[in-house]
Amino acid sequence: MSYSTIDRASDVLKSAFEILRQGFPDYENRPQQHEMAGAVHACLERKNRLLVEAGTGVGKSFAYLIPAILSGEKTVVSTATIALQDQLAKKDLVFLGKALPHEFSFDILKGKNNYVCLKRERELTEQGEARDRFAQWLRDTPTGDKEEIPFIPDFWGKVCGDTEDCGGRKCPFFSDCFYYNHFKNLHKVDILVVNHYLLIYDLLSEFTLLPFHKTLIIDEAHEIENVVSHVLGSTVNHSRVSWLLHRLRTLEIAVDHIFPRVDSYFKGGYLPRQDAGNSYRIPDTVIEGLEHLKGLLSLEMVASRLKTYKETAEEGEKADKVETTLVSLHSLSRDIDDFIIRENPNKVYYMTTSKGAMALRSSLVDCQEPFGALMEGYESVVMTSATMSAGGSFSFLEERLGISGCGEKIIGSPFDFKKQALLFIAKDLPPPDHESFQEESLKTMEGLIRVSGGRALVLFTSYKHLHFVSRNLKTDYPVKSQGDMPPARLIQWFKETPDPVLLATATFWQGIDIKGERLSLVIIAKLPFGAPGDPVYDERCKRLENRWFGDLALPSAILLLKQGFGRLIRSSSDQGVVAILASLPEIRTVHNLEDVRTFFDSIPSSRDLGPARRKGVRKKRRSVREL
């Protein structure tokens, strides 16, 4: 490409930002945003790869959306959170569509599990008030999208779409299918917003799920490894097995005698006696029980019977049920065998507990190979986030994902945090693993919320801690917790409610944009280090050997802490407090390398010490390495 062509395109980019500046008084002109847009624009023009960290307040969504629009190429934008998906599709792209003189189209695509499946809904047996409210909503909804439901029904997993149970065009409900009626026109749009899970499922489908693969922009890119790890793993749980039994019952296969055994396996004696966390190594007794359950299910015999049904069934609902049930049955059989054998060296196998039921799960440990295949599927790739670097380097992300040959850019925040924000570090709290930490830290939270007059977002690293605070928090201000309603509705509630308090974890550490006094306090309930006992985290640490802290634990915590901090200051006029509930020792703090050098120079070198003291120094160094 000639320099004159690039210069002309750059002029168009400058013109687009000038239109925003002149035409919209609320638009903040940010040099950092222009800098990022220029880097993204150059990457797309040259069909390259780019890693770009954009600090809080840069306005990275505009900085990549505007070059994508101007490029004229069909672009997939992937996010980690539904909150950011909604912001892009319902706010940012709508705004740019009105502001820019360039015509473009856009839409959002979510996974099938975000839409009602009419076939599965017909099989629902639940009764009661929730079922009646859901039925009324279903009669009125034009989209079937879960985000539109004013509540989250417990039976959603039984009525939502499922790839394995989808017959596509062969399904008798295809013409009325909410998902496919939305999907069928997506090949025409210019910008398609998806989430990371859908992006990886597209990789699994050998790039047949998404409608085009030219340009890929991955926002919240620091989350992509965990999504790859999860999607390329597997789950065997109570709901999956019991759903299959319910389906077989509708096909007149005798399974009633198996239900109690399934309940006993997943909800009975294999549950840990004490709540030691969310994840556990799988004991041999659980695998022995799984082998017994496999024999009881007789999946090969059931598959043979279904194949006979398939040969005689006429086209219609039953034929579709038989065919999709076979797919689900074979998938479950493969996964059960995988858990029994556990021979994949790049997987970690573990069990989790939730709501009185046990689940078997596996996750990928190293994700370099599948992520490399994803990158190869697109002509241009931009990866961005407010938190991608640690210590001014992208090496952590590059090593975890196997990335090489990408352009790199770090763009700082335009905000003056020294003037706009105050950092509160709690004192005199017990260590986070102490039995009294939750109760003592709760008192500190209540005091902070009282002083701030509500207007608080409290971020947790575990649902267990969140649920404890939700049950015990004493405050006069309105409080909601993650899970009370869909994420987008929770954010809307926060924006519309005077002096709100929101308790959240997971996705709410990132992708939330609440400007102004409504959010004036962010409480980080615990430093976000990976939890010992998490089998995936433990296995990754084990493979790194003595590099586990510097190469994984520390940079991961830095990135997540930066994300949490970034929820507070969202504009140049915002002010507020970030509170970290970690009791740190009183210690001198410095901010430049010369002070560090002076400190080390003041310590006697071991070669200046006698043999006894040298031995003591070496012992201390070993102790540090063992931490």
Residue 604 has pLDDT above 50, yes or no: yes
Name the residue among 149, 163, 558 with its Cα closest to residue 392: 558
- Dist CA 566 CA 574 (whole Å): 12
Residue range 173-184: mean pLDDT, rounded? 93
pLDDT of residue 349: 96
For 472-483, the pLDDT digits (tens) are 999 999 999 998
Residue range 457-484: mean pLDDT, rounded? 92
Residue 627 has pLDDT above 90, yes or no: no
Residue range 590-596: mean pLDDT, rounded? 63
Instruction: Tell me whether residue 565 is exposed, middle or buried, using C-beta atoms within 10 angstroms of its C-beta: 0 to 12, 13 to 18, 19 or more.
Output: buried
Query: Strands of 234-237's sheet, edge to edge?
Result: 234-237, 357-364, 347-354, 279-281
Q: How many other CB atoms sit within 10 Å of the CB of residue 131?
A: 14
Considering only the top CATH level, what class is 234-364?
A: mainly alpha
For 71-87, the pLDDT digits (tens) are 999 999 999 887 788 88
Looking at domain 417-580, does it have CATH number 3.40.50.300?
yes
Instruction: Tell me whether residue 483 is exposed, middle or buried, using C-beta atoms within 10 angstroms of its C-beta: 0 to 12, 13 to 18, 19 or more.
Output: middle
Chain center to CA of 208: 23
Q: State the distance between the two ends of the chain, measured CA to CA, in whole angstroms.
A: 53
Name the residue among 440, 391, 405 with its Cα closest to residue 555: 391
Q: Dihedral (C-alpha) 245, 152, 222, 445: value to the nearest 10 degrees?
A: -130
pLDDT of residue 3: 39
pLDDT of residue 615: 42
Q: What percent of the chain has pLDDT over 90?
A: 53
Confidence at 272, pLDDT banded by 50, 70, 90: low
191 backbone dihedrals φ, ψ, rounded to 5° = -120, 120
Residue 573 has pLDDT above 90, yes or no: no
Specify which of 8-12, 342-346, 606-610 reaches the highest per-range mean pLDDT.
Answer: 342-346
Structure tokens belonging to residue 283? 């004991």
- Which segments of 532-602 does DSSP mark as H helices, in order? 535-544, 548, 554-565, 593-601
Domain locations along the chain: 3-105+189-230+374-411, 112-177, 234-364, 417-580, 593-626
Task: Give 564's contacts (C-beta < 8 A, 6+ positions apart).
Answer: 459, 509, 522, 524, 528, 578
Structure tokens belonging to residue 435? 């039995």
pLDDT of residue 565: 83
Indicate the fold that domain 3-105+189-230+374-411 takes in CATH.
Rossmann fold (3.40.50)
Asked if residue 193 lies in contact with residue 61, where contact means CB atoms within 8 angstroms, the answer is no
Asked if residue 237 lies in contact with residue 295, where contact means CB atoms within 8 angstroms, the answer is no
pLDDT of residue 117: 95
- Dist CA 377 CA 179 (whole Å): 24
Residue range 419-434: mean pLDDT, rounded? 86
pLDDT of residue 48: 96
273 backbone dihedrals φ, ψ, rounded to 5° = -70, -30
Strand partners, 76: 192, 216
Of 88-102, 263-277, 368-382, minimum mean pLDDT range = 263-277
Residue range 163-172: mean pLDDT, rounded? 88
pLDDT of residue 614: 41
Strand partners, 349: 362
pTM across the whole model? 0.80
Q: Which residue has the tokens 């086209």?
A: 315
Residue with more model confidence, 598 or 242: 242
Residue 626 has pLDDT above 90, yes or no: no
Tallying the residues shown for the chain, one arrives at 627
pLDDT of residue 623: 32
Q: How many other CB atoms sit within 10 Å of the CB of residue 616?
A: 11
Determine how β-strand 215-218 pairs with β-strand 75-79: parallel
Residue range 496-519: mean pLDDT, rounded? 86
Asked if residue 578 lies in contact with residue 424, where contact means CB atoms within 8 angstroms, the answer is yes
Residue 587 has pLDDT above 60, yes or no: no
pLDDT of residue 612: 44
Asked if residue 521 lies in contact with residue 452, where contact means CB atoms within 8 angstroms, the answer is yes
pLDDT of residue 544: 86
Residue 2 has pLDDT above 70, yes or no: no
Residue 98 has pLDDT above 80, yes or no: yes
For 108-122, the pLDDT digits (tens) are 998 899 999 999 998
For 237-246, the pLDDT digits (tens) are 999 999 999 9
Residue range 342-358: mean pLDDT, rounded? 90
Same topology between domain 3-105+189-230+374-411 and domain 417-580:
yes
| One-letter amino acid for residue 381 of the chain | V
Residue with more model confidence, 356 or 594: 356
